[in-house]
Amino acid sequence: MQPSDSTKRRIGKLELFITFSRITLSSFGGALFWARRAIVEHRGWLTEREFAECLTVGQLLPGPNVLNLTVLVGYRFGGWSGAAVSVLGYLGWPFLVVIGMGMLYQRFGALPEVQLALGGMSKVAAGLLLATVIKLAMVLQRKLRPWLFCVLAFGAVGVLRWPLIWVVVALAPCAVFLSWKAKD
């Protein structure tokens, strides 16, 4: 990742906590759309490119990619304590909400109205994910090679149903090598 002026900026712990609390409390079905919107569009903490780079690093690390992104952004602007409060904001509220919703679902989950509402929310979540993918794709370089790897990965995992880990193990070194050779 290229360092920028945003790496020099310090953001208060309370602001990190509140921002990641808002992201997680808004993100039914997935937080990526809301994280990008808050961090890039509303707060201006990262550029589109920096966000895509942080997300890429977060996807390479074990664990949920948006949680990894939360740690990276929190650390970037607040050090270790910034990372900790960002994670607390991101995970604390959902922990409490999920416990409460689990209790409600146990009691009311069989109602047809509840089943219809959950079906509708899944469609909204899919639409938000698609919108985020399109916005992230807009900042990618207009070269054939990255798109070729996207198609290969989609074909291997989505169509052929090969295990993701083996697809990553096979494609990642090839992509890194070709990218490294292209810079020479």
Task: Report residue 5's pLDDT band, with 50, 70 and 90 as the boundaries.
Answer: low
pTM: 0.58
Q: Where are the domains of the chain?
A: 5-140, 142-184
Q: Under a CB-based contact definition with an 8 Å cutoff, are residues 143 and 182 in contact?
A: no
pLDDT band at 14 (very low <50, low <70, confident <90, very high): very high
How long a stretch of residues is the chain?
184
Pair 94, 23: CB distance under 8 Å: no
The answer for residues whose C-beta is within 8 angstroms of residue 179's C-beta and 6 or more apart is 145
Check whether 38 has a pLDDT greater than 90: yes
**CB-based burial, 23-51: b 16+ in 10 Å, e otherwise:** bbeebeeebbbbbbbbbbeeeebbbeebb
Q: How confident is the model at residue 33 (pLDDT cuts 50, 70, 90)?
A: confident
Lowest mean pLDDT among 47-56, 67-76, 119-128: 119-128
Mean pLDDT value across the chain: 87
Q: Check if the beta carbon of residue 98 is closer than 8 Å to that of residue 14.
A: no
Task: Summarize pLDDT for 140-151 with one digit per residue, the tens.
Answer: 777 788 788 888
First to last CA, the chain: 18
| Comparison of pLDDT for 72 and 138, the residue scoring more | 72
User: Sorting pLDDT into bands at 50, 70 and 90, what band is 3?
Assistant: very low
Q: Please give the Cα distance from 12 to 85 (Å, whole number).
A: 10
Distance between CA 36 and CA 47 in Å, rounded? Answer: 10
